Amino acid sequence: MYDVLNVSQAAKVIGCGRQEIAEKGKRKIWPFVKVITPKESGKKLNSYEINKRDLANYLKIPYEEVDRRLSLGEVERRTTL
């Protein structure tokens, strides 16, 4: 797995919605969310990057727990299809 998560993956780990991560990242409430503005990326919308280690440290969980929570989300999705 990669060390950088997107908003959907981070939402699975935290247990919240994607919009909450985007809003709290923009307001700098959650320091682990890196907001990439259209000016920086050349795209039309903001994009977001979340470093796994920073997220684990912020949540005070082991780094491996982030991977476990991500894999649980994939298993749940497979069983509902």
Whether residue 56 is predicted with pLDDT greater than 60 in this model: the reply is: yes
DSSP labels for the chain?
--SEE-HHHHHHHHTS-HHHHHHHHHTTSSTTEEEE-HHHHSSSS-EEEEEHHHHHHHHT--HHHHHHHHHHHHHHHHHH-
pLDDT band at 73 (very low <50, low <70, confident <90, very high): low
The string of pLDDT tens digits covering residues 12-53 is 999 999 999 999 999 999 999 999 999 999 999 999 999 999
